[in-house]
Amino acid sequence: MSDPREITRILFENFQPQAIYLFYAFGYAAIAVFLYGVYTQIRKYRRGQPDPSWGGLWSRFVDMAKTMLTHRTLKRRDRAAGSAHGMIFFGFVLLFIGTSTITLEYDILKPLTGVTFWYGNFYLWFSLVLDLAGLGVVAGLIYMMYRRKWLKLPKLDYTRPDRQPGDPDFDRSGYRREDWAFLWSFILIGITGFILEAARLVWLSDRPTVWDYRMWSPVGATLAHAMQGLGLTPEGASAMRGALWWFHGLLALTFIACIPYTKIKHIFTASASLMFRDPLAGRRLPKVPEEQESAGFKQITDLTWKQLLHLDACTKCGRCHEACPANAVGAPLSPRDVILSLREFANKALNAKELPEAAELDIHGKGVGQVFMETLWSCRTCLACVEICPVAVEHVPIIVQMRRKLVEDGDMEPILQKTLQNIHKSGNSFGESKRKRAAWTKELPFEIKDARKEPVDMVWFVGDYASFDPRNQKVSQAFARMLHNAGMDFGLLFEGEMNAGNDVRRVGEEGLYELLASSNIGTLQSCDFKTIVTTDPHSYNTIRNEYPDFGGQFEIQHYTSVVKQMIEDGRLKLKKKLDYRVTFHDPCHLGRYNKGFDAPREVLKMLGCELVEMGRNRDNSFCCGAGGGRIWIPDPVGVEKPSQNRMKEAGAIEGLQVFVVSCPKDLTMFEDALKTSGFEGKFVVRELIELIDECIEYEVWEEAGSEAA
């Protein structure tokens, strides 16, 4: 065996010193361009507002590393693309480490200390690993090209639902060109790298320290043999290497220089975005600081640095675009496009040395990069976008912040204005008298305690829909019977209860939300109780996640987990089993918002129902369209509503009998959609409570002659 020190990477062999200097000059230039780009990007982010997401940096880092190493978020709902990305990513990381170690030895350690390590077995193993890494990168890139060219995925169609054909940037073709430029240059770097390696092998085929170990670079060696087979001589290879070397090297340096200016920057921005992700994004919206003059986002500089970073992290993967219920029914909203519009806006306005004038920072309007009012009002704050984004872009807080500005300016549907005024005046969205809030209890054969007057174990926060909507009142009555029957010690706030404010907040009427929240918190704090229960996932979310910001720390449960517990404890006795074939719709605010996926399913199982899942279930549940205050704004006529879209999905289930929901708003939305989408008579929509109710026999009261059951 030859001296291991001889078995090493051929670096600048046969290069004129001038050529080497020239190469270094290019290298430094590339690094300078790169660094300048990084500087301007950081300057851009620093033009945003402060963000509270600092803190816990180490655990943030660990989370980010885990997400990146497992590629978990990238594989969701698109395994193939996730795996291909994994190959590119890990290949790239290995190649990067490999190249860095060469630099470490050649440019730092050797000149300074004389230490070298890049030879012998270390070198051989490294060349094998890097060879395979390169292969992974090329294979991954080929799949990406195939996917873009032939799979025709709707989510990769950049055409914008919020713009008309002919509008500037309607099809975002610039992005498409960038994608292809990226793929081609990257793959060319990979391929020329291999050919270069093969050429080097052919060129030095008479040098045993090179040729005898060629199989440690299997791809290069295979190519070398092929090239020899085609008649390439060592001299020819030498000449070829010279030319290719420069091509490969300059392309790679250009690539590096381009990172901060092109989509390649997602290497950094996506990682940082993941690192600063807010686990409660959208679930708990940001407060408006007391001293702040006007609420919400008007200018691009109103976004926080983290949000500006999110804009740059988006890789246009289209997962949010595909998941968005507004987009699915043709509303002028795609969460992806909101992010991209704002990104373009930020790049135009904030990359310059001087900030432009305030007027040119306005992100609302009809111009390029501005976001339409109709776009913002189309959002149902269902969180499907935030939940699926592989790089932790948080769309909903940005959308709501922008809506806050619209609300302040009164830019909203008159009917929504009316509803907000009603809520302000009467504390409920129905505009009913406060006194009527508990009117639904009158038909019950027992009295419900007033939690404001006596201590109870459990306060039931009923919510507007369950209190005032006649159809939902029936459900509330059934739940009351259930609690009473199970001997639970519970009470209501009666007219002390106000709209919980979840949707008011998501509309963007923060002042009204503050009023509602503090009023409810005050009322709750004056009561003596252990936990809160609610049948309304919207109230559940805001009390659980948002009231703490206003000083209201309460334990709250959605009824599904309470009922599950009651059945398990034997407090609630099921007298019969149901043999329905059912499907379950996860309410956004219970499921995606608060991970309450299992309790309702387990209850359904206990009832004996056969649960057939819809394609979009659990975290991918499809919003009924009522969220974000959209229940108060009628959907346009003549086009499909999200709820109808959902009905069609359920209708495809063979022999479906019951479409089960566990949210008052869902009941309203879907019972309506059942009729309008032509499934009436095929299956029914029921609240889970109603199914449970079927299984309980309230003999005692029936004997007493009541009609309660």
Partner 1 sequence: MKILVAVKQVAALDEDFEFRDDELDVDEDFLLYDLNEWDDFSLEEAMRIKEASEGEVEVVVVSVGPDRVDESLRKCLAKGADRAIRVWDDAMEGSDSITVGRILAAVAKKEAPDMIFAGVQSSDQANASTGISTAAHLDWPHAAVVAGLEYSPGASKAVVRRELEGGTLQEVEVATPSVLTIQLGINKPRYASLRGIKQAAAKPIEEMSLGDIGLTPADVGADVALSRVRRMYVPPKGRAAMIEGTVAEQAAKIIAIIKEYKGE
Residues written for the chain: 709
Q: How many CB atoms lie within 10 A of CB 4?
A: 14
Q: Which of 432, 610, 640, 694 touches partner 1 (CB under 8 A)?
A: 432
- CA distance to 380, 462, 463, 581, per residue, from 667 (Å): 17, 15, 14, 18
Do 623 and 663 contact (CB within 8 A), yes or no? no
Options 169, 408, 610, 635; binder of partner 1; rule CB under 8 A: 408
Which of 232, 314, 371, 400 touches ligand SF4 by CB under 6 A? 314
Report the residue from 225, 348, 436, 449 that binds partner 1 according to the rule CB under 8 A: 436
Three-state secondary structure along 197-265?
A: HHHHHHHCCCCHHHHCCHHHCHHHHHHHHHHHHCCCCHHHHHHHHHHHHHHHHHHHHHHHHHHHHCHHH
- Answer for which of 189, 201, 224, 320 binds ligand SF4 (CB under 6 A) is 320
> Ramachandran region of residue 56, left (φ > 0), alpha (ψ -120 to 50) or beta?
left
Instruction: Name the one residue in this structure whose structure tokens are 């829909």.
Output: 465
Q: Which does 626 bind (CB under 5 to 8 A by kind): ligand SF4, partner 1, none?
A: none
Which range touches ligand SF4 (CB under 6 A), out of 381-389, 455-463, 610-618, 689-697?
Answer: 381-389
Rounded to whole angstroms, the maximal C-alpha distance in the chain is 106
Nearest to 527 by CA among 623, 579, 455: 455
Q: Does 172 bind ligand SF4 (CB under 6 A)?
A: no
Query: Using the rule CB under 8 A, which residue among 17, 414, 470, 570 binds partner 1?
Result: 414
Q: Which residue number, 166 or 410, has a Cβ lying nearer to partner 1?
A: 410
Sign of CA dihedral 108, 114, 115, 116: positive
Considering only residues 378-407, where is the footprint of partner 1 by CB under 8 A?
A: 407
514-523 long-range contacts (CB < 8 A, ≥24 apart) are: 514/550, 515/424, 516/423, 516/427, 517/542, 517/546, 517/547, 517/550, 517/552, 518/550, 519/427, 520/461, 520/547, 520/552, 521/547, 521/550, 521/551, 521/552, 523/452, 523/493, 523/496, 523/497, 523/498
Shortest separation between residue 515's beta carbon and partner 1, angstroms:
6
Is residue 633 close enough to count as binding partner 1 by CB under 8 A?
no
Q: Does 391 bind ligand SF4 (CB under 6 A)?
A: yes
Can you point out the beta strands (E) in 328-465?
A: 449-450, 458-460
Q: Which stretch binds ligand SF4 (CB under 6 A): 201-209, 257-265, 313-321, 461-469?
A: 313-321
- Judged by CB under 6 A, the residue of 248, 277, 336, 646 near ligand SF4 is 336
Q: By CB under 8 A, tell whether 286 contacts partner 1.
A: no
Q: Please, which residue, 371 or 623, has the CB nearer to ligand SF4?
A: 623
Q: Residue 325 binds which one of ligand SF4, partner 1, none, with CB within 5 to 8 A depending on kind? A: ligand SF4
**295 lies in the site for partner 1, by CB under 8 A:** yes
Return the one option of partner 1, ligand SF4, none that residue 685 interacts with (CB less than 5 to 8 A, by type).
none
**Helix, strand or coil, per DSSP, at residue 168:** coil
Among 48, 190, 335, 369, binds ligand SF4 (CB under 6 A): 335
Residue 52, exposed/middle/buried by CB under 10 A (0-12, 13-18, 19+)? exposed
Contacts to ligand SF4 from residues 603-642, by CB under 6 A? 623
Spatial distance between the Cα atoms of 261 and 701, rounded to a whole number of angstroms: 73
Q: Residues 272, 420, 458, 572: which binds partner 1 (CB under 8 A)? A: 420
Query: What gap in Å lies between CA 554 and CA 527, rounded to an integer?
Result: 12
Stretch that binds partner 1, among 156-164, 414-422, 481-489, 553-561 (CB under 8 A): 414-422
Answer yes or no: are the C-beta atoms of 111 and 24 closer than 8 Å: no
Shortest Cβ 449–partner 1 spacing (Å): 23
426 in contact with partner 1 (CB under 8 A)? yes
**Residue 432 near which of ligand SF4, partner 1, none (CB within 5-8 Å, type-dependent):** partner 1
Amino acid at 143: Y
* Residue number with CB closer to partner 1 (412 or 660): 412
The span from the CA of 614 to the CA of 617, in Å, is 6
Residue 308 sits in the site that holds ligand SF4 (CB under 6 A)? no
Cβ proximity to partner 1: between 169 and 514 the closer is: 514
Contact of residue 666 among ligand SF4, partner 1, none (CB under 5-8 Å per partner type):
none
- Classified as helix, coil or strand, 380 is coil
Contact 335, 320 (CB under 8 A): yes
| Contact assessment for residue 634 and residue 560, using Cβ atoms and an 8 Å cutoff | no
CB of 483 or CB of 588, closer to ligand SF4: 588
Report, in Å, the least distance between residue 142 CB and ligand SF4: 22
| Pick 145 or 156: Cβ nearer ligand SF4 | 156
Q: How far is CA 416 from CA 353, 456, 636, in A?
A: 42, 36, 14
Q: To the nearest whole angstrom, how small is the minimum distance from the Cβ of residue 282 to ligand SF4?
A: 7
Q: Output 322 or 464, the one with its CB closest to ligand SF4.
A: 322
CB of 158 to partner 1, least distance (A): 35
Residue 379 binds ligand SF4, judged by CB under 6 A: yes
CB of 418 to partner 1, least distance (A): 10
For residue 306, CA distances in Å to 49, 325, 510, 549 come to 9, 26, 22, 21
Instruction: Report d(CA 596, CA 242) in Å as an integer.
Output: 63
Tell me which amino acid residue 622 is: F
Q: Is 383 in the site for ligand SF4 (CB under 6 A)?
A: yes
Q: Which is nearer to ligand SF4, 339 or 685 (CB)?
A: 339
For partner 1, the closer CB: 121 or 433: 433
Q: Which of 376, 389, 399, 412 binds partner 1 (CB under 8 A)?
A: 412
Mark 394-420 as b/e (b = at least 16 C-beta within 10 Å).
bbbbbbbbbbbbbbbeeebeeebeebb
Site string for partner 1, 483-522 (x = CB under 8 A): --------------------------xxxx-xx-------
Tell the smallest beta-carbon distance from residue 292 to partner 1 (Å). 9
Which of the choices ligand SF4, partner 1, none does residue 393 contact, using the CB cut-off of 5 to 8 A by kind?
A: ligand SF4
382 binds ligand SF4 (CB under 6 A): yes
Residue 420 contacts which entry, ligand SF4, partner 1, none (Cβ below 5-8 A, type-dependent): partner 1
Whole-number Å distance between alpha carbons of 324 and 318: 10
Binder to ligand SF4 among 160, 200, 214, 319 (CB under 6 A)? 319
Out of 10, 139, 288, 633, point to the residue binding partner 1 (CB under 8 A): 288
DSSP states of 311-343: HHH-----HHHHH-HHHHTT-S--HHHHHHHHH
Q: At 582, phi and psi to the nearest 5? A: -125, 165
How far is C-alpha 619 from the chain's CA centre?
11
Quick check: 425 binds partner 1 (CB under 8 A)?
Answer: yes
Which does residue 198 bind out of partner 1, ligand SF4, none, counting CB within 5 to 8 angstroms by kind?
none
Kindly list the residues in this chain that would bind ligand SF4 in the complex (CB under 6 A): 314-321, 323-326, 333, 335-336, 339, 379-385, 388-391, 393, 395-396, 623
Kindly list the residues in this chain that would bind partner 1 in the complex (CB under 8 A): 288, 294-295, 407-408, 410, 412, 414, 417, 420-421, 424-426, 432-436, 509-512, 514-515
